[in-house]
Amino acid sequence: MLNELQVKQVKRYLRINNIESRLILGDFMDHLCCMIEQNMSEGASFEDSLRASFSQLPGYEMKKIEKYTLKLLNMETSFSSRTSLLATIPFGLFGLSWAFSNSGIYAPKFINLFLFWAPMISMFVLLGIGWTKKFPRWSFPSIGFCLLFSMFLMMVSIPGLSDGVLGLWAWIPLLITLVISFIFKPGIEPIKKIVERIKEDPSLILFALYGIAPFFVWIICDEMYTIWMIFIALISTLILSSGIYLFLKSDKKRTRVFSMIISGLLAVIFTFTASIIYWK
């Protein structure tokens, strides 16, 4: 009964109220259109039917239904402050490691070793946890980090461990992580979930790549040793952590994407500027 223009008005209402999930949006579209058509079949005009349907199913109620439904389906788009903050822990560990290793501050060897390995290990642990939980959004940075970090290690030579670059040996930590994860969660369902989530929200690819950002800005300051690197490391880490926090906390897709892009660019510009000042 509804024409194309009228259907677009219904869809615009859903978009204005930040209904993002294609699955949920489709269900609401069908429901609202049926309500409008029912009213029109009883003699009401389209405009009156539209207003009546929107008043019966207000935007804030639909958003609550969407969030609850996505939570039941393990497809959440926004999380609590606690979960969002916990997801920034690996980023914070990178900042601490960077601050100590480049500041020249003396610390016992075991502390230096812990600070150096803790951020890398935490990312692989997060990947394993993500596998067992079918990869909720907060685990996506670990996917990007573990893949890109392994690719980076392929070009690295470690004295006493390899005569040349590591090559394929660089993938052993990732392989071990996947084997252990598979023991706790057999099957390929977690991989299917990754594909489903990315189809639902392609910005998750960018979020996964964001996982390598703390390591990338650290590399920018390679061989820079000065006490003020503490402030550079901590500020850059805070910027990057804010990006991941806002991505997980925000209800709006646009806010999530912009938070990543802006925080990533700010951290790189800030760190790169510091490196230019240092070498001059």
Residue 43 zone, left/alpha/beta (φ > 0; ψ -120 to 50; rest)? left
- Domain end marker among 71, 96, 125: 71
Q: Are residues 99 and 67 in the same domain?
A: no
Average pLDDT, consecutive stretches of 10 residues, N- to C-terminus, the chain (280 residues): 84 86 86 88 86 87 85 81 92 89 76 86 96 94 96 82 78 95 93 92 94 92 84 93 94 89 95 88
**Domain final position from 71, 93, 111:** 71
What is the domain range of residue 45? 4-71
Tell me what pLDDT residue 161 has: 62
Instruction: Tell me how many domains the chain contains.
Output: 2
Domain co-membership, 65 together with 108: no
| pLDDT given for residue 268 in this prediction | 94
- Going by C-alpha positions, the residue among 186, 69, 195 that lies closest to residue 140 is 195
Do 148 and 250 share a structural domain?
Answer: yes
Helices then strands, counting H and E runs in the chain, come out as: 14, 0
Going by C-alpha positions, the residue among 144, 263, 135 that lies closest to residue 200 is 135
Query: What is the amino acid identity at position 257?
Result: V
My answer on whether 212 and 267 are in the same domain is: yes
Q: How remote is the C-alpha of 104 from its chain's centroid?
A: 33
Q: Are residues 54 and 85 in the same domain?
A: no
Q: How far apart are CA 72 and CA 76, in angstroms?
A: 8
Predicted confidence at residue 158, as pLDDT, reads 73
Which tokens is 263 given? 């925080």
Same domain flag for 196 and 223: yes
* pTM exceeds 0.75 for this model: yes
